[in-house]
Amino acid sequence: MAARRGCFPLVAVLLALLCRAEAAVRELKVGYYAETCPEAEGVVREVMARARAREARSVASVMRLQFHDCFVNGCDGSVLMDATPTMLGEKDALSNINSLRSFEVVDEIKEALEERCPGVVSCADIVVMAARDAVFLTGGPTWEVRLGREDSLTASQEDSDSIMPSPRANASALIRLFAGLNLSVTDLVALSGSHSIGEARCFSIVFRLYNQSGSGRPDPNMDAGYRRALNALCPRGGDEEVTGGMDATPRVFDNRYFKDLVALRGFLNSDQTLFSDNARTRRVVKRFSEDQDAFFRAFIEGMIKMGELQNPRKGEIRRNCRVANGSPSPATPKEVATYRVMDF
C-alpha cells in the first residue's frame, strides 16, 4: 500500500521520525499500474524496442541508469534531473559526466505515458522497467518488476560523487560498497554482468594500458593479444571518447562477459578485478562463466534487490523526468530529444 498522504513536518522529533519511516516503507508491487495505467509496461517495452532499432547501444545505456539512480539515495529518478542554478545535478558527478547517456529514451517513454496516463507513472519506475526490457531485448531473461516508486524532488551531485565507484575500483572496494547497500558478493558479481551489453570509453581504461597503479606499465592481468587490440583502439594520447565493447558480444546479453574475465580480457579494471584480485569474487565469476542460467537467476535477484532500494523522503510523480513539478522547463522532452539528435 502506498504511503499515506498528510504526513506534515512536526516539531516533535518522534513524530517527525515516524513520518519519515512511513515514507520509507512505501510498498512496491507487481501490477501496480494495472488499473491506473494498464498499458504502462507495454509502452515502455515498445519505446525501448524502437530505441534499440535506432541505436543498438542505447538500451544498455538506459539499463546503466538504474545502477546510477538506485545506488544514490535509492531508486528515485534523481539521476534524470537536469542541474539548476540552485542544484548541482547527478548528471555532472564524476562517474556520470560525459558518460551517462540516452536520457532522451527515458524522455520518449515518459512523453508516451503522459499522453495515455497523465501524472500516473513515475520516472523512477520507468527506469526500472526500461532496465528490465534492455536485458530482454538483447537476449537475456525477463522478470516481473515491483512498482510504485515516487520521484525525488531534488538530486545530489555530492552524494553521487561520494558513492559511485571509479572504473579504477578494485574488488575489495566494490564488495564494501555493495555490502553497504545490503547486496552480497554474488549480487556484486551478477550485477557487474550488466556489462555483458554496452560500451565504455577509452578514458576509463588508458591507465590500465599505460600506467597501471602508477607503474608506467600496463595491467599485468590482461591477455597480451587483447592488450594489443586495446592499444590500437586507445593509443597513448589518442581520443579518449572512443568506445569499445565491454565484452566480445556487446549487443547480446549472455555470460560471455564472465568468460572474458577468466581469459583476462575484461575491459574495465573494475571488471577484471573481480576475477584477478579476490578469491571470493573469483569463485562466482568462474561459476557464471560455466553456467549462464545460474548467472541469469542471480542477475534477476540482484536487479530486484537493487531496484527496491528506496529514498525515505516524500516524492512526487514528475511530469517531466528532468525537472521537479512546478519548476521552469526550458524544453519539452520531445524538444530535448531533438536537440540531442542534432548534437550528435
Q: What is the pLDDT of residue 341?
A: 33
Residues linked to residue 199 through DSSP beta bridges, in sequence order: 245
Q: What is the pLDDT of residue 333?
A: 42
Residue 29 has pLDDT above 90, yes or no: yes
Active site residue 60: no
Q: Which three cell numbers stand for residue 234?
A: 586507445
Average pLDDT, stretch 101-106? Answer: 96
pLDDT in tens, 145-163: 999 999 999 999 999 998 9
Q: What Rg, from alpha-carbon coordinates, does the chain have?
A: 20
Q: What is the pLDDT of residue 236?
A: 95
Q: Which three cell numbers stand for residue 209?
A: 594500458
The lowest-confidence range among 18-27, 38-47, 161-170, 329-338 is: 329-338
Average pLDDT, stretch 42-48? Answer: 98
Q: What is the pLDDT of residue 255?
A: 98
Share of the chain above pLDDT 90, in %: 81
Q: Sorting pLDDT into bands at 50, 70 and 90, what band is 26? A: confident
Residue 309 has pLDDT above 70, yes or no: yes
Q: What is the pLDDT of residue 19?
A: 39
Residues linked to residue 78 through DSSP beta bridges, in sequence order: none
Task: Tell me the average pLDDT of the chain.
Answer: 89
3-state helix, strand, coil in the chain (%, to 5): 50, 5, 45
Q: Sorting pLDDT into bands at 50, 70 and 90, what band is 7? A: very low
- Better-scored residue on pLDDT, 68 or 25: 68
- Output phi, psi for 50, to 5 deg: -65, -40
Q: Name the amino acid, one letter, at 329.
A: S
Q: What is the pLDDT of residue 332?
A: 43
Q: What is the pLDDT of residue 64?
A: 96
Average pLDDT, stretch 300-324? Answer: 95
Handedness of CA 244, 192, 278, 73 (dihedral sign): positive
Q: Sorting pLDDT into bands at 50, 70 and 90, what band is 344? A: very low
Residue 136 CB-half CA count within 13 A: 16
Q: What is the pLDDT of residue 25?
A: 57
Residue environment code for 140-171, b if the CB has 16+ CB neighbours within 10 A, otherwise e: bbebebbbbbbbbbebbbeebbebbeebbbbb
Residue 87 has pLDDT above 70, yes or no: yes
Q: Sorting pLDDT into bands at 50, 70 and 90, what band is 331? A: very low
Share of the chain above pLDDT 70, in %: 88
Residues linked to residue 293 through DSSP beta bridges, in sequence order: none
pTM of the model: 0.87
Q: What is the pLDDT of residue 250?
A: 96
Report DSSP letters for 87-142, one per residue.
B--GGGSTTTTTT---HHHHHHHHHHHHHHSTTTS-HHHHHHHHHHHHHHHTT---
Average pLDDT, stretch 82-93? Answer: 92
Q: Which of 57, 64, 68, 149 is catalytic?
A: 68
